[in-house]
Structures are given as structure tokens and as C-alpha cells.
Amino acid sequence: MKKLIKKILTEETNNVSNLKKYFINIWEKQVSSGKPPRIPDIVDLIRKRLDIYVDDINSWYLEFVGGEDNAKKMLEIYLDNITVTQDDFNKVGQRIGPNDRFEIKITGLLIGMILWRKVKFNLDSIL
């Protein structure tokens, strides 16, 4: 019985280690192509049955980008001077009425620590 438990725990550790390598590989490819590294959205993680590893993935991401401060800075750069339209909302499943049209331009964004803590959960899909 001890050998079986040890084998199961070893396999689980190897799977998590391989999963970490998988995400690091994705982020390295994104960076090498000039894109910011991003965590896949939750729908994609659920589809791949990886949603149980969300906390691990967030931790690996922060480790990859050099910590929470760097992640915050990258988010500020990503969101600064970005224009959001109804099409962007539709792409992420936030349905907008067919006749509704809008354009929001974000400029001069500075994310403070309090705001970062509040929106971190909601913005995980775009990081």
C-alpha cells in the first residue's frame, strides 16, 4: 500500500512539474514573438480540465514575470492607450445588444495596490 501511495504522489508531482513546463513554454513563445505572456482564460482552462490548477498557474505566472509588481507593471502597459469596443466584450462572452455600439479609450492608467488586489481575480483571464 505504501508503494502505491508513493507512486501516485510521484506521478502527481511529475504531472504538476510537466504542467509548469508546459505553461512556461507557452509564455516563452509569447515573449519571443513580442507579445506579453498571458494566462489562458478560464473557459480554456476548464475545457482542458486544468481549472483545478488555477492557483498554481497564477503562482507560476508571477514567478515567470518576476513577481506581482512586474505583473502589475505589465498590466498597466498592456491597458494603457487601449481601445475597447463592443466586439471585445462579445469575444469574451459578455454579450452586448446587437444595436449597442461603443468605444472606450483607456489612457494614463496607474494601478495602485488596493485596486490591484480588488481586480486581480477578474483580470486573471487577460494576464
Three cell numbers, residue 120: 486581480
**CB within 8 Å of 45: residues ≥ 6 apart:** 51, 53, 54, 57
pLDDT at 42: 83
Average pLDDT estimate for 107-118: 55
d(CA 80, CA 74) in angstroms, rounded, equals 10
Residue-wise pLDDT tens digits, 18-69: 889 889 999 999 999 998 899 888 888 888 888 888 899 999 999 999 998 8
Q: Domain residue spans in the chain? A: 2-126
SS3 100: coil
Residue-wise pLDDT tens digits, 82-99: 888 888 888 877 888 888
116 has a pLDDT exceeding 70 = no
pLDDT at 60: 94
Match 475597447 to its residue by C-alpha cell: 84
